[in-house]
Amino acid sequence: MPDFKLSHWALLDLKVEALVDGYKFTARTDVPCHLFCRMTKKPPVRRVVPSPRRGTYFQGEVRFCFVVYEDNEQDEPGDTLIHTWHKTGWPVCETRWFYFVGTQGGVTSVSETAIFRYHFWGGPPPEPERLAYARFFNVYGATTALGSLVAIAQVFWADTASDISHVCLFTKNNDNYNVVISIRHVDENDLPILPDIQSIVINLSDGIITGGSDAYPVYKHIAALPVGIGGTSHYAVVARELGDPPTFWLTFRTLGWKPEYPWDEGSKNYVVRYRRSIDGGNTWYPAGSPTGQWNFEVWGVPEA
C-alpha cells in the first residue's frame, strides 16, 4: 500500500507575530511539504451541497469557498517542516481570511487546512484576555480519559463579539499522543454540532506543568484557534482522541498542590455540565453529574 503521508500532511501549529504593517505567520506540519497561504479580503461564501450516503444524496453538507484570492508561497525553498510568510502592506483595520494548501515532492497534495481569520489592528495587537474559563478544585480532583471514539466538550460564550486567539486545556499525562481540539457551534440544547469552525492537532508532549504535584501533575496545553465569535452566542470547545487516550482534569486536585503554582480558582461564561460523545463527536449528551465541569480557558480579544 502507498504511504499515506507521501500525499497528505497536517497542520500541527500556527504562530502569528504582529509586524509594523502586517503579520508574520509560521506554520508547522507533521511531514515535509511546500505550502501556499491562500488569502482573500472577501468573507468566504457558505454553500450547502449534496452529499452521498449509501447511494442517496442528501442536502446538508456545508462548504466554504473563496471567490477572489491570492496564493502566497512560503519563504523557505523546497519541502520543509517549518513554513514562514511575511504579509506586509496590510492596511490597518482590514480583515483577511486564509487557509493553507501545498505540494509534496512537487505533486499537489489533497490536504488543506481550516479557514483562519485575522484582523490587522495596526502594530502589535491588544493582549488577549480570558473570555471564558472554569478552574475548579477539590481534595482529590477528578479526571476523565478519552477512550476510543470518546470526545468531550465545554460550552462557553463571550460578553461581546471577540476574536479568540487560543484555548488552554489541562491533562494529567504528557505522552506522545495527538489530540484534535476544535471550536464548534451548538444547537438550542447547547450540544455541539458539525462541522468544526476551526480545529488543530496538538501533541500532549508539548504540555507545560502549571500545577499539581509530582504524582498528580497538571499539564497545560495551548491550542491556537483563531476564531471570530459573536457576543453572548454559545460555542463549544471540543477535544477528540486520535487513537491514544488523553486524561483531562475535570477538577484540579488540591491534595499535594505545590505552593509555587498559582491557584486561580473561579469561573466565567461557561455552561454547567460539560458534554460527552461516544461516537467520535457526532452526537452528544450532558455529563452525568448535575454540576459536572471540565477545567478550560478561552483567550481572545474583544472587538472594539
Q: What is the CATH number of the domain that holds 10?
A: 2.60.40
Q: Does 66 score more than 60 pLDDT?
A: yes
In the sheet that holds 178-185, the strands lie side by side as 198-203, 178-185, 235-241, 151-156, 275-277, 285-286
Count of CA atoms in the C-beta half-sphere (13 A) of 283: 2
Whether 137 is in a domain gets the answer: yes
124 located within any domain: no
- Looking at the fold, whether 30 and 78 belong to one and the same domain comes out as yes
Give residue 251's pLDDT band: very low, low, confident or very high (50, 70, 90).
very high
Q: Say whether pLDDT at 291 is over 80.
A: no
Mean pLDDT on 194-217:
95
**Per-residue model confidence as pLDDT tens digits over 89-102:** 999 999 999 999 99
For 201, phi then psi, to 5°, come to -100, 125
| Domain boundaries, position 269 | 129-302
| pLDDT tens for each residue of 213-240 | 999 999 999 999 999 999 999 999 999 9
For the chain, the domain total comes to 2
Cell numbers placing 163: 476574536
